[in-house]
Amino acid sequence: MELGLREKVVLITGGAEGIGAAISRACLEEGAIPCIVTRDSEAVQAFARGLRERGAHFELVTIELHSPESCGAAVEEALRRCGRIDALVNNAGVNDKVGLEFGSPEEFLASIQRNLWHYYSMAHYALPSLKAARGSIVNIASKTAITGQGGTSGYAASKGGQLALTREWAVELLPFGIRVNAIVPSEVMTPLYRRWIATFPNPDDKLRSITEKIPLGQRMTEPAEIASMAIFLLSERASHITGQHLFVDGGYVHLDRALG
């Protein structure tokens, strides 16, 4: 299926690791130009090196999205390098385990800043370009906004905020033809997830206890499956879809897990 993304510039936060890296690869497969905004790390540099060795057309902007000013600088640099922004994927974040009992109010606010603030700031600064392109926004959220998890108030609140902003922006940006949607993953096998599983005394048993609760196939979602939905939502094939929360989770949230 031709998605019409060839030569489109897609700005992706956290686009060099996990789900973000899968979305960057999917953009390249469709002939789009991913402009990856991420903090610098060995993993990021290894990912970028692999893309360069393949001759891929992409841009890498290494910056920590810790403030509105840094988000503005990231968008400005993306525009300097690419000339335009056709789509935005807000993806960067971390489940930082700031809970109600053991996290302080200051830590809660810091978690909101790490996981929600830059979603708004990136969209705010990219908006003029998105208006010119009649582009689209995809926000990567999380099941924690719907199901809760326990011990992660900051992350869950941020993800809930992302879902609310998706609906709000879809309304606000209707006059400009800008579509805004969110993807809600549940259990996705990313490198970060693998590292978390490895902290348990018996990682295989822990993973099995999780996958047994996933109705469709009793398996983890792959990052590429999230990326496929993201690419579709960014494309003209999704031209009449906006304000939606799309669950790519093997039925984890909405199906009775006893079915598994």
**Helix, strand, coil percentages, rounded to 5, for the chain:** 50, 15, 35
Q: Tell me if residue 87 falls in helix, strand or coil.
A: strand
The torsion region of residue 43 among left (phi > 0), alpha (psi -120 to 50) and beta comes to alpha
| Block residue for tokens 């984890």 | 252
Question: 155 an active-site residue?
Answer: yes
Marked catalytic residue, from 119, 120, 125, 155:
155
- Cα dihedral: 113, 100, 253, 160 (round 10): -30
Phi and psi torsions of 36, nearest 5°? -90, 120
Q: Residue 133: what residue type?
A: A
- Distances in whole angstroms, Cα of residue 119 to Cα of each of 93, 123, 253: 10, 6, 24
CB 181 within 8 A of CB 139: yes
How far is CA 109 from each of CA 34, 98, 222, 238, rounded to the nearest angstrom? 31, 10, 31, 35
d(CA 12, CA 27) in angstroms, rounded, equals 10
Give the residue carrying structure tokens 């968008």: 75
The residues pairing with 181 across neighbouring beta strands, listed in sequence order, are: 138
Instruction: State the catalytic residues.
Output: 155
